[in-house]
C-alpha cells in the first residue's frame, strides 16, 4: 500500500519536476522577504506558565505586591565606602536616571534617596517612620553631620543588606519594570531597554571612583540577546566545515551544495513562517533553527549518498535521483515525523515561549520533508555525472566498503553481538543510576545562559556577595475575609504561618503584616519589647496596624490580602522547592476557615512555577516521543524486533545524555528543555536508515549477519560521516559567548555521536541477539526499496 | 491468640479516641490560637524575639515570642528548645533554684517547670486574659505575677492557684506594673508606668507608693551588692536608692534610649541593657560606661552566665553571648 503511494508520488513529482521546482522557488522568494523582517524578541511573561496556580496568583496581585521583573543597579565605591558626598550624590543621580527611564514603573523605584525608604523605629513615642534621607536634605546640602544621620537611619531602618551593602561599599537602586506599558499597552523591548541601561546608566555614571553594576531579568535578556547574535558566526563556520566535509565525502561540488542549499531553504521558509505568525526569534530558542538545519543536512547526506552509489553502479542522474527518492522517502519521513512529533509535543508545555518554539520548529521540520526528501532528489534529477566522477567516487567507495565490511563482521558476529548487548545493558543501568538527581532550574546564582566570567554574572556575584537580602523573594499570598487585619484570630494565623516559614532552611527572613504589627504594638506601648504581640482587642489591634507604612505592601486597601514575604538565600530549585513544600504542608495541616493561603509571587515564586512545569513536562514529552517512534516503526515494519532494535539504543543514548548533563551542571530550564527533548530524537534517523536496509536484506533471504554487513556497507559510512560532520558543526558552539549555547553544543555533539555509535553497534548487536534467542518463524516483510 | 485480639481491639479503640480528639481540636478556636496551641518546634527558636532570661542552677533559660522557651547548659554558646505549652508571647521567666521556675505572658498565661526549664506545664490562664509582664517567686511556693492595667496576682502554692492582689489605688490602679522583684531582706518592689514604684514589706499584703521623682515609665529594677536599689526605664533613666526606696537619686547614663533590664554581676558591678543596642556597664563604684552594639537591636534582657563570667543578652534577634567592645 505504502509502496504504491510512494511510487505514485515519485512519478508525479518527476513528471512535473520543472513546475514543482518553479513553484518552490517562488515560495522561497516570498518567504525570504518575510524572513528578512524577523526580529529577535524576548519577553518576561512569555517565559511563565500562565495557567499555573502560582502564576495566576502572581498575575492577580501583580499591581499590589512586589513584582518579579526587577532591575537592580548598584553604585559601588571602588575605594572606601559610600558614606561620602560624592558617592551619595552619584546614588541620587542614578536614582533619578532610573526613575525617568521609559519602561520603569516609577512607583517602585527604591533607594536611600526615595521617600519609600523609611526607617521604622520603635520609640517611646510610638512607632516612628521617617525617611532615611529626609525631604529637607538635598544633594547640595550633604554635610558630614547629615551623612552620619543618614547612615544611622539606614542601620535602624534595617536597610543594611538590602539597600546598602553589608560592608557599606555600595548602595542599591531597585525598580520594577512596567511590561506592558499601562498607558500604551506596548510590550517592553528588552534588548533596547538593556542597551539604554548601558548607555544611560553604566556609561554615564561610571568613573574612576564609582563602579556601576546592573542585574535583573531585563539586563540578563539583553546580554543573552547580544551573545545570541554570535550564533550567526558559528552557524557560518559550521556551514563551511560541513561543506568541506561533504565535498570530501562526495567528491562532487554539485552533491556538496545540494544538501546544504536544500536545508537552508527550509530554514528560510521557517523564518518566514515565524514572521507571518507574528512571533519573534527568542534568544533562548535561537539554537532551534540551527538544529533543524542540522537535521536537514543529515537527511541530505543520506540522499546524496544514495544518489552517488546509484551513479557509481551505472545509473544516470535522473534514474539515480528517482531511486533515491523512492528508497529514502519512507525512512526519511519516519525520522522527520519523529522529530516533528518531538517538537510538536513541546506544545504541551504550558509556557508561551516554548509553545511558540514548538510551533515554529515543528513547521520547520515539516518543511524538511518537502525540501530534503522531495525537492532534493528532484533537483538532483537534472544533474549529469561524468565518467571521471564515477571513477573517482568509485575508488573511494570501494575502500570504504572494505572498511565497513570488516567492521560489520566483528559487530554482527553472534558472540560479539551478545557481548555488545550485555555491555550496553550494563552501561544503561549505570547511566540510569548516574543520571538520577539531575538539576532542575537554576543551579548558580547568576544567569545560567551566560558564562561565569561574563559581566552580568560578575555583577550578580558581586551583588549577592555584598547584600544579604532582597534578591530572591517568594511571596505567599494570604487571602482573608474583608478587614482580616483587624481580627486577632486571622492575624495570629498569618503570624504563625510567617514564623513557620521563617524556620524553613533557605529562608533568610520572613516579613508580614502581623510581624510589623507586633513591632507597632510595642511602639504604641512606649517601645517596650514585652508588648510586641498582636493586641486581642480589635480597636487596639487596628491602632497598631495603622502604623505599618503602606509602602511595605503588606496589606491592601480592604485588608483582604495579607502577603508573607520570604527572602531566600538563593534561587536554586532545591531551595525554592523546600519552601513551597513547607507552605503546602502548613496550609494542609493547619487550615483556617475563610482564609486561603496561596502560592506564590516574587521572582522566586514565579521561578517555582516554571521549575515545576518544566520538571513535570519532561517525562510525558519523552514518553510521547518514544511512543511515536514505536508506533511509526510498528506501522511500517510490523515487527516487534524492529521496535526493540530501534528504541533500546535510543534509550541508552538518552540516559547517557542525562548523565552528561548532570556532570556538566546543565539544569533543566525553559531554555534547555526543548533542546533536551530534541536530543532524544536527534539521530533517530540513523537507526531508521540502517534498520531499513537491514530489513530489506533480510527480506531477500539473507541471514542476519550477512544482511547487516550489507546494510552497513551501503549506508554505514554515510551515517558515521553525517554524525561526525554535524558534531564538528555543533562543537564549534563551545566557543560561544553564551554558556548555554556552549553547553548545548557539547550536549548535542555528544548526542550526535552517541546515537550514531548506538545505531551501528547496539542496534545490529540487538537485532542479531534477538534473532538468535527467538528465531523468526515466518519470512521477513520487505520494506520499500529501490530496484 | 485471644490476647493479641484484645490488644488489637485496644489499638482500634485508642485510634478512635485519638481521632475524636483530633476532631475536637482541629478547628482552632479563634481566641485561643496563641494560648491553646503548643509552641512550634523551630529551627530558629533561639533567634526569635526574646524578652526574658533566668538562671536555673547551671542552666540559662530564655523566653519570648511564639511561646518559645530555650535553654542552654554551656553558658549560652548553644541553645536547645524546651517544650512549651503555649504559642503566646512570653514576657518574663524566673527561677528560685535549679529546678523550680515560672514564666508568664500575653493572654494571662502562667507556666511552671520543676526540671530546671527543660519542660513546662500550663499552670493557669487568668480570667480576662490580662497581659502579664513580670513574675517573681520568693521560694518554691510564694510568688507574684504582675502585668498591664494594674493586674497583680499572688500564689502560695507554687503557682497552682492565684489570687488577685491590689497594688495601686485611685488613679494608680490602672497602671502597667512592669516588673516585680525582691531584695535580700524580702522587701518587694514593683517598677511601674509613669515613674511610679511600689514597695511591700509584708510579702505583698499591702503596697506603698514610692516617690521616685521621675515621670517616665519605669520598666525594671534590681538590687546592687551593697544593698542599693536600682530602677530603670524610659529615656535612659536610671534612679537609685540607698535607703530602701524612700529617697531616689537620678544617675547619668549618657543615653536617651529606653532601658529594659539590668543586674548585678558576680564582681559587684552592674550591667544594664536597652533599646537601640545600648549596653551600660559599671563597676562597684564608678560611673556607667555606655556601649552601643553595631546592630542597634533592641535588647530586652540580660543575665550573667553560670560560669566563666560571660554575659548573655536577649532581644529582637534572639539570645546572644555578649562580646564586649573592650
* Structure confidence by residue, pLDDT tens digits, A461-512: 888 888 866 578 899 999 999 999 999 999 999 999 999 999 999 998 899 9
Contact B65, B78 (CB under 8 A): no
Q: B67-89: b or e for each residue (b if 16 or more CB lie within 10 Å)?
A: bbbbbbbebbeebebbebbbbbb
pLDDT score, position B153: 97
Question: CA–CA separation, B217 vs B197, rounded Å?
Answer: 9
CB atoms within 10 A of CB B173: 11
Q: Residue A532: closest CA among chain B residues belongs to which residue?
A: B89
Contact B70, B41 (CB under 8 A): no
pLDDT score, position A242: 85
pLDDT score, position B20: 38
- Most confident region among A357-366, A463-472, B2-11, B180-189 by mean pLDDT: B180-189
> Do B92 and A502 lie within an 8 Å CB cutoff?
no
Nearest Cα residue to B54 out of B316, B282, B306: B306
> Do A533 and B217 lie within an 8 Å CB cutoff?
no
**Which residues lie below 8 Å from residue B286, measured CB to CB, with a gap of 6+?**
none
Average pLDDT of the residues in A636-657: 84
Question: CA–CA separation, A270 vs A30, rounded Å?
Answer: 12
- Cβ-in-10-Å burial (0-12, 13-18, 19+) of B125 comes to middle
Query: What residue has cell string 502577603?
Result: A563
Please report which confidence band the pLDDT of residue A296 belongs to, taking 50, 70 and 90 as the band edges.
confident
C-alpha cell at A489: 484570630
Partners of A164 in the β-ladder: A160, A171
* Whole-structure pTM value: 0.82
**Which residues lie below 8 Å from residue A134, measured CB to CB, with a gap of 6+?**
none
pLDDT score, position A683: 65
Residues of A in contact with B260 (CB under 8 A): 528-529
pLDDT score, position B179: 98
More confident residue, B214 or A409: B214
pLDDT surpasses 70 at B1? no
Question: CA–CA separation, A618 vs A632, rounded Å?
Answer: 21
pLDDT score, position A124: 67
Phi-psi region of B306 (alpha: psi -120 to 50; beta: other; left: phi over 0): alpha
Question: CA–CA separation, B21 vs B89, rounded Å?
Answer: 26
Please report which confidence band the pLDDT of residue B8 belongs to, taking 50, 70 and 90 as the band edges.
very low
| DSSP codes of every residue in A172-230 | EEEEEE-SS-TTT-PPP-HHHHHHHIIIIIIIHH--SSEEEEEEEHHHHHHHHHHHHTH
Question: CA–CA separation, A4 vs B14, rounded Å?
Answer: 76
Nearest Cα residue to A681 out of A339, A349, A353, A253: A339
Residues of B in contact with A489 (CB under 8 A): 30-31, 33
pLDDT score, position A206: 93
* C-alpha distance from A547 to closest chain B C-alpha (Å): 19
Please report which confidence band the pLDDT of residue A52 belongs to, taking 50, 70 and 90 as the band edges.
very high
pLDDT score, position B61: 97
pLDDT surpasses 60 at A304? yes
Task: Return the number of CB contacts < 8 Å for A and B.
Answer: 85
Please report which confidence band the pLDDT of residue A42 belongs to, taking 50, 70 and 90 as the band edges.
confident
pLDDT surpasses 50 at A212? yes
Contact A752, A726 (CB under 8 A): yes
Please report which confidence band the pLDDT of residue A787 belongs to, taking 50, 70 and 90 as the band edges.
very low
* Structure confidence by residue, pLDDT tens digits, B69-83: 999 999 999 999 999
Most distant CA pair in chain A, distance: 104
> Do B40 and A503 lie within an 8 Å CB cutoff?
yes
More confident residue, B43 or A345: B43
What is the phi/psi pair of residue B80, to 5°? -120, 145
Range from A248-262, A669-683, B135-149 carrying the lowest mean pLDDT = A669-683
pLDDT score, position A594: 92
Average pLDDT of the residues in A22-42: 91
pLDDT surpasses 90 at B288? no
Average pLDDT of the residues in A221-226: 85
Average pLDDT of the residues in A297-302: 87
Suggest the residue from A126, A167, A528 to mutate for an interface test with chain B (most B CBs closer than 10 A).
A528
C-alpha cell at A231: 550564533
Helix (H), strand (E) at residue B50? strand B50-56
Question: CA–CA separation, B53 vs B147, rounded Å?
Answer: 17
Please report which confidence band the pLDDT of residue A295 belongs to, taking 50, 70 and 90 as the band edges.
confident
- Cβ-in-10-Å burial (0-12, 13-18, 19+) of B241 comes to buried
* C-alpha distance from B192 to closest chain A C-alpha (Å): 12
pLDDT surpasses 90 at B132? yes
Average pLDDT of the residues in A112-125: 78
* C-alpha distance from A535 to closest chain B C-alpha (Å): 9
Q: Is B259 on the interface with A (CB under 8 A)?
A: no
More confident residue, A718 or A484: A484
pLDDT score, position B30: 42
Contact A313, A386 (CB under 8 A): no
Whole-number Cα distances in Å, B122 to A531, B71, B85, B106, B156: 21, 18, 6, 13, 17
pLDDT surpasses 70 at B325? no
**Domains detected in chain A:** 1-36+231-395 (1.20.1640.10), 70-178+189-226 (no CATH), 407-436+638-787 (1.20.1640.10), 455-608 (3.30.70.1320)
Phi-psi region of B129 (alpha: psi -120 to 50; beta: other; left: phi over 0): left
> Do A496 and B66 lie within an 8 Å CB cutoff?
yes
More confident residue, A193 or A637: A193
Please report which confidence band the pLDDT of residue A266 belongs to, taking 50, 70 and 90 as the band edges.
very high
pLDDT surpasses 70 at B40? yes
Partners of B163 in the β-ladder: B154
pLDDT surpasses 80 at B293? yes
Contact A67, A563 (CB under 8 A): no
What is the phi/psi pair of residue A84, to 5°? -145, 165
Q: List, edge to edge, every strand of the sheet that includes B270-274.
A: B259-264, B270-274, B278-282, B289-292
Cis status, amide bond into A442, omega within 30 of 0: no
Average pLDDT of the residues in A150-177: 87
- Most confident region among A291-295, A480-484, A669-673 by mean pLDDT: A480-484
Average pLDDT of the residues in A411-416: 79
Question: CA–CA separation, A46 vs A37, rounded Å?
Answer: 21
Nearest Cα residue to A732 out of A238, A146, A31: A238
pLDDT surpasses 60 at B11? no
Question: CA–CA separation, A37 vs B90, rounded Å?
Answer: 69
Whole-number Cα distances in Å, B41 to A484, A588, B44, B86: 27, 17, 9, 12
- List the single residue in B31, B107, B275 with the smallest CB-CB distance to A489: B31
Q: If you ran DSSP here, which 8-state letter would residue A709 be given? A: H
Contact A624, A337 (CB under 8 A): no
Question: CA–CA separation, A326 vs A5, rounded Å?
Answer: 10
Q: Is B234 on the interface with A (CB under 8 A)?
A: yes
Question: CA–CA separation, A160 vs B295, rounded Å?
Answer: 10
pLDDT score, position B209: 96
pLDDT score, position B15: 41
Partners of A71 in the β-ladder: A175, A216
pLDDT score, position B161: 96
Average pLDDT of the residues in A192-210: 93
Gyration radius of chain B's alpha carbons: 21
Question: CA–CA separation, A484 vs A9, rounded Å?
Answer: 72
Whole-number Cα distances in Å, A407 to A301, A305, A383, A705, B269: 21, 19, 33, 12, 92
**Which residues lie below 8 Å from residue A726, measured CB to CB, with a gap of 6+?**
A242, A294, A297, A298, A752
Helices (H), chain B: 2-25, 33-36
* Structure confidence by residue, pLDDT tens digits, A753-769: 888 888 888 888 888 88
Cis status, amide bond into A600, omega within 30 of 0: yes
Q: Is A530 on the interface with B (CB under 8 A)?
A: yes
Question: CA–CA separation, A173 vs A451, rounded Å?
Answer: 25
Question: CA–CA separation, B223 vs A420, rounded Å?
Answer: 88
* C-alpha distance from A608 to closest chain B C-alpha (Å): 23
Strand-pair category, B163-164 with B152-155 = antiparallel
Please report which confidence band the pLDDT of residue B23 belongs to, taking 50, 70 and 90 as the band edges.
very low
Strand-pair category, B270-274 with B278-282 = antiparallel
Question: CA–CA separation, A640 vs A634, rounded Å?
Answer: 7
**pLDDT above 90 coverage of chain B, percent:** 70
Average pLDDT of the residues in A612-626: 85
* C-alpha distance from B3 to closest chain A C-alpha (Å): 36
Question: CA–CA separation, B89 vs A531, rounded Å?
Answer: 9
pLDDT surpasses 60 at A786? no
Question: CA–CA separation, A685 vs A646, rounded Å?
Answer: 10
Question: CA–CA separation, A231 vs A733, rounded Å?
Answer: 8
Query: What residue has cell string 516554548?
Result: A354
- Most confident region among A53-57, A409-413, A727-731 by mean pLDDT: A53-57
Q: Is A587 on the interface with B (CB under 8 A)?
A: no
What average pLDDT is seen over chain A?
Answer: 86
Helix (H), strand (E) at residue A479? strand A473-479
Helix (H), strand (E) at residue A241? helix A230-250
**Among residues 73-132 of chain B, which lie with CB inside 8 Å of chain A?**
87-89, 91-92, 106-107, 129, 131
Amino acid at each position: 500500500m505504502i509502496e504504491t503511494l510512494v511510487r505514485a508520488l515519485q512519478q508525479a513529482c518527476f513528471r512535473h519536476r520543472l513546475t514543482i521546482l518553479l513553484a518552490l522557488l517562488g515560495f522561497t522568494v516570498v518567504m525570504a522577504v518575510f524572513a528578512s523582517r524577523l526580529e529577535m524578541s524576548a519577553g518576561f511573561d512569555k517565559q511563565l506558565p500562565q495557567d499555573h496556580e502560582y502564576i495566576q496568583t502572581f498575575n492577580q496581585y501583580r499591581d499590589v505586591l512586589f513584582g518579579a521583573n526587577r532591575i537592580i543597579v548598584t553604585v559601588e565605591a571602588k575605594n572606601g565606602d559610600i558614606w561620602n558626598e560624592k558617592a551619595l550624590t552619584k546614588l541620587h543621580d542614578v536614582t533619578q536616571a532610573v526613575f525617568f527611564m521609559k519602561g520603569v514603573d516609577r512607583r517602585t523605584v527604591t533607594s536611600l534617596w526615595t521617600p519609600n525608604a523609611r526607617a521604622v523605629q520603635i520609640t517611646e513615642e510610638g512607632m516612628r517612620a521617617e525617611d532615611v534621607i529626609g525631604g529637607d536634605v538635598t544633594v547640595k546640602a550633604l554635610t558630614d553631620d547629615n551623612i552620619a544621620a543618614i547612615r544611622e537611619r539606614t542601620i535602624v531602618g534595617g536597610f543594611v543588606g538590602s539597600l546598602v551593602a553589608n560592608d557599606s561599599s555600595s548602595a542599591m537602586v531597585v525598580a520594577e519594570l512596567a511590561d506592558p506599558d499601562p498607558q500604551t499597552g506596548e510590550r517592553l523591548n528588552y534588548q533596547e531597554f538593556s542597551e539604554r541601561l548601558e548607555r544611560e546608566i553604566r556609561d554615564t555614571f561610571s568613573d574612576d571612583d564609582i563602579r556601576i553594576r546592573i542585574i535583573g531579568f531585563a539586563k540578563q535578556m539583553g546580554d543573552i540577546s547580544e551573545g545570541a547574535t554570535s550564533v550567526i558566526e558559528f552557524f557560518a563556520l559550521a556551514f563551511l566545515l560541513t561543506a568541506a566535509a561533504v565535498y570530501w565525502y562526495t567528491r562532487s561540488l554539485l552533491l556538496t551544495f545540494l544538501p546544504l542549499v536544500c536545508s537552508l531553504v527550509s530554514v528560510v521558509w521557517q523564518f518566514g513562517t515565524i514572521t507571518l505568525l507574528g512571533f519573534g526569534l527568542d534568544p533562548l530558542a535561537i539554537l532551534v533553527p540551527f538544529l533543524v538545519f542540522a537535521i536537514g543536512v543529515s537527511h541530505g547526506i543520506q540522499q546524496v549518498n544514495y544518489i552517488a552509489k546509484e551513479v557509481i553502479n551505472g545509473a544516470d542522474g535522473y534514474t539515480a535521483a528517482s531511486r533515491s527518492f523512492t528508497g529514502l522517502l519512507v525512512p526519511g519521513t519516519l525520522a522527520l515525523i519523529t522529530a516533528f512529533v518531538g517538537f510538536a509535543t513541546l506544545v504541551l508545555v504550558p509556557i508561551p515561549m516554548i509553545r511558540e518554539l514548538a510551533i515554529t520548529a515543528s513547521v520547520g521540520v515539516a518543511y524538511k520533508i518537502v525540501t530534503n526528501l522531495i525537492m532534493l532528489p528532484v533537483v538532483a534529477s537534472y544533474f549529469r555525472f561524468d565518467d571521471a566522477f564515477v571513477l573517482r567516487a568509485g575508488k573511494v567507495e570501494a575502500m570504504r566498503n572494505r572498511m565497513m565490511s570488516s567492521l560489520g563482521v566483528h559487530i554482527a558476529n553472534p558472540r560479539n553481538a551478545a557481548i555488545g548487548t550485555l555491555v550496553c545493558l550494563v552501561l544503561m543501568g549505570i547511566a540510569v543510576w548516574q543520571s538520577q538527581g539531575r538539576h532542575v532550574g537554576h543551579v548558580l546564582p547568576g544567569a545560567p545562559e551566560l558564562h561565569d566570567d561574563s559581566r552580568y554574572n560578575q555583577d550578580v556575584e558581586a551583588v549577592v556577595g555584598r547584600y544579604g537580602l532582597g534578591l530572591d523573594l517568594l511571596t505567599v499570598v494570604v487571602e482573608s475575609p474583608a478587614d482580616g487585619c483587624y481580627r486577632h484570630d486571622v492575624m495570629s494565623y498569618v503570624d504563625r504561618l510567617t514564623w513557620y516559614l521563617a524556620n524553613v532552611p533557605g529562608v533568610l527572613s520572613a516579613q508580614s503584616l502581623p510581624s510589623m504589627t507586633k513591632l507597632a504594638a510595642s511602639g504604641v506601648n512606649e517601645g517596650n519589647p514585652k508588648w510586641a504581640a498582636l493586641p486581642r482587642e480589635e480597636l487596639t489591634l487596628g491602632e497598631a496596624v495603622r502604623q505599618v507604612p503602606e509602602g511595605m505592601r503588606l496589606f491592601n486597601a480592604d485588608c483582604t490580602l495579607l502577603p508573607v514575604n520570604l527572602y531566600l538565600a538563593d534561587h536554586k530549585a532545591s531551595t525554592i522547592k523546600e519552601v513551597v513544600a513547607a507552605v503546602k504542608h502548613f496550609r494542609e495541616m493547619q487550615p483556617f476557615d475563610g482564609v486561603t493561603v496561596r502560592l506564590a509571587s516574587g521572582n522566586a515564586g514565579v521561578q517555582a512555577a516554571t521549575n515545576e512545569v518544566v520538571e513535570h513536562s519532561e517525562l510525558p514529552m519523552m514518553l510521547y516521543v518514544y511512543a511515536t517512534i514505536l508506533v511509526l516503526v510498528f506501522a511500517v515494519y510490523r515487527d516487534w524486533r524492529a521496535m526493540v532494535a530501534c528504541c533500546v539504543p535510543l534509550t541508552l543514548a538518552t540516559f547517557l545524555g542525562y548523565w552528561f548533563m548532570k556532570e556538566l551542571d546543565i539544569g533543566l530550564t525553559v531554555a534547555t528543555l526543548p533542546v533536551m527533548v530534541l536530543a532524544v530524537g536527534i539521530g533517530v534517523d540513523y537507526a531508521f536508515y540502517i534498520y531499513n536496509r537491514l530489513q530489506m536484506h533480510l527480506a531477500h533471504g539473507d541471514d542476519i549477519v550477512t544482511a547487516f554487513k550489507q546494510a552497513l556497507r551501503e549506508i554505514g559510512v554515510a551515517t558515521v560521516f553525517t554524525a561526525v560532520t554535524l558534531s564538528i558543526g555543533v562543537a564549534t558552539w563551545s566557543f560561544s559567548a553564551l554558556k548555554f549555547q556552549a553547553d548545548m553544543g557539547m550536549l548535542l555533539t555528544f548526542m550526535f555521536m552517541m546515537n550514531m555509535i548506538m545505531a551501528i553497534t547496539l542496534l545490529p548487536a540487538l537485532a542479531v541477539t534477538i534473532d538468535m534467542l527467538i528465531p523468526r518463524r515466518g519470512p521477513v516483510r520487505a520494506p520499500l526499496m529501490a530496484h | 491468640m485471644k490476647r493479641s485480639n484484645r490488644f488489637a481491639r485496644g489499638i482500634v479503640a485508642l485510634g478512635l479516641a485519638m481521632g475524636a480528639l483530633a476532631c475536637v481540636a482541629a478547628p482552632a478556636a479563634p481566641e485561643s490560637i496563641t494560648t491553646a496551641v503548643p509552641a512550634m518546634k523551630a529551627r530558629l527558636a533561639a533567634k526569635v524575639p526574646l524578652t526574658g532570661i533566668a538562671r536555673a542552677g547551671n542552666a540559662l533559660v530564655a523566653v519570648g515570642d511564639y511561646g518559645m522557651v530555650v535553654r542552654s547548659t554551656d553558658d549560652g554558646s548553644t541553645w536547645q528548645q524546651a517544650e512549651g505549652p503555649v504559642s503566646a508571647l512570653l514576657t518574663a521567666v524566673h527561677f528560685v533554684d535549679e529546678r523550680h521556675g515560672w514564666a508568664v505572658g500575653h493572654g494571662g498565661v502562667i507556666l511552671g517547670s520543676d526540671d530546671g526549664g527543660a519542660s513546662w506545664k500550663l499552670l493557669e490562664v487568668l480570667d480576662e486574659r490580662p497581659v502579664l509582664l513580670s513574675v517573681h517567686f520568693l521560694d518554691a511556693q510564694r510568688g507574684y505575677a504582675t502585668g498591664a492595667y494594674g493586674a497583680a496576682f499572688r500564689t502560695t502554692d507554687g503557682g497552682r492557684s492565684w489570687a488577685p492582689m491590689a497594688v495601686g489605688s485611685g488613679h494608680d490602679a490602672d497602671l502597667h506594673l512592669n516588673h516585680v522583684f525582691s531584695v535580700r531582706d524580702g522587701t518587694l518592689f514593683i517598677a511601674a508606668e509613669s515613674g511610679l514604684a511600689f514597695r511591700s514589706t509584708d510579702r505583698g499584703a499591702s503596697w506603698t507608693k514610692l516617690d521616685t521623682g521621675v515621670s517616665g515609665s519605669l520598666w525594671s529594677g534590681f538590687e546592687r551588692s551593697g544593698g542599693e536599689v536600682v530602677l530603670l526605664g524610659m529615656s535612659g533613666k536610671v534612679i537609685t536608692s540607698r535607703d530602701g526606696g524612700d529617697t531616689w537619686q537620678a544617675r547619668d547614663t549618657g543615653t536617651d534610649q529606653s532601658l529594659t533590664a539590668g543586674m548585678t554581676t558576680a564582681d559587684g558591678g552592674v550591667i544594664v541593657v536597652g533599646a537601640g543596642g545600648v549596653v551600660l556597664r559599671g563597676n562597684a563604684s564608678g560611673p556607667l560606661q555606655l556601649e552601643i552594639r553595631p546592630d542597634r537591636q533592641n535588647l530586652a534582657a540580660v543575665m550573667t552566665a553560670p560560669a566563666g563570667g560571660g554575659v548573655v543578652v536577649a532581644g529582637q534577634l534572639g539570645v546572644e553571648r555578649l562580646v564586649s567592645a573592650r
